[in-house]
Structure 1
Amino acid sequence: MNKNLLVFWLSASFVFAFDRVTKVWAERTLTLGEKVPGIDGWYEWSLFYNPGAAGGIFSGHLEFLITVSALAVIALVGFMVKGRHDRNLWLQIGLGLMLGGALGNLFDRVFYQHVIDFINPIGESHIFNIADKGIHWGLYLCLLGLWLSRRKLNKAAQASAPEQQRLEQ
């Protein structure tokens, strides 16, 4: 394993493990459909089995969702391993969070035929889990990492422009 990708693998492992632990907790502690006070004023806990994707879209299409999830996992790993991203810390963390989230929901779909959701924001109609938040925040960190990389490349190009002009003369 490339030691420079350690942050990527650690991020993915953390989200996957935290997601699994919290889903086991939710299933052992909560009753399906019951709302339990969680983080005061922010969230309540409510166990829900989601047969689809975000908000229940594609319900009844388990094979499709498993295929899409598996392709996302392959793409994320391939992008990191084959790409030259081993020095972009924000991108590594972001892609790792997304990988851990994709693996967490893929695990549920393969072994339970639904995704276990249990975090219910007060006043909202959607329920989610740690894997969903890993994907969500991972995307933001990837965008930050790509933006910072672009800035770094632009600065490097500007710094080398005078040298290039001198060589051309």
Structure 2
Amino acid sequence: MKRSYLWFWLSACLVFGLDRFTKVWAQTSLTLGDSVVGIDGWYQWTLYHNPGAAGGLWSGHADWLALISIFAGVAILWFIYKGPHDRNGLLLLGLGLMFGGALGNLYDRLLYQYVIDFIDPVGANYIYNLADKGIRWGLYLAVLGLWFSGKRLAKESQNVVS
């Protein structure tokens, strides 16, 4: 395995592992629907079984959501190994976070037919988990990494033409 892929696999394993650990904690420590003070004034812990995506969107379509997660994972792996990029660390880190998050939620969908959410920001109307944050922050880092890769690849192609 190329050393540059290390960032991808480390970040994917970190997100998946932390997501599983915290979801097991939530399932064993919290009562479904009850809120417990987490970080006072910022977060509370509320166990929620989300049958859909993003706050219950597409509830009742766990099979389709699982297929979408599988497709996303395969697309990320394809892009990592075959895609047109220069394998920079920021891009690989972001894609790894997204891959680990997609696997974390896919695991729940396949095992339970719902996703375990428990992080409940005070005053917000949504509940999420660490896999969701891995996907979100991974997307930000991957887009930034792609931007840097695009600039670098464009500069290299100009040097070749010159």
Could you list the runs of 5+ residues in structure 2 that have no partner in the other structure? none
State the secondary structure of the residue aligned to 2:71.
helix
Are the counterparts in 2 of residues 5 and 86 from structure 1 also a CA contact under 8 Å? no
2:99 pairs with 1:99: yes
Equivalent residue number for residue 73 of structure 1: 73
Query: Aligned letter for 2:79?
Result: F
RMSD of the alignment, in Å? 1.6
Query: Aligned letter for 1:13?
Result: C
Equivalent residue number for residue 139 of structure 1: 139
Are the counterparts in 1 of residues 76 and 99 from structure 2 also a CA contact under 8 Å? yes
2:10 pairs with 1:6: no
Query: Aligned letter for 1:142?
Result: A
Runs of at least 4 residues off by over 4 Å: none
How many residue pairs are counted as aligned between the two chains? 162
Equivalent residue number for residue 112 of structure 1: 112
Could you list the runs of 5+ residues in structure 1 that have no partner in the other structure? 165-169
Are the counterparts in 2 of residues 86 and 92 from structure 1 also a CA contact under 8 Å? no
CA distance 1:110–1:129, change in 2 (3 Å): same
Query: Aligned letter for 2:49?
Result: Y
Are the counterparts in 1 of residues 4 and 89 from structure 2 also a CA contact under 8 Å? no
Computing the radius of gyration over CA atoms, which structure comes out larger, 1 or 2? Answer: 1
- How does the TM-score come out when normalised to structure 1? 0.90
2:27 pairs with 1:27: yes
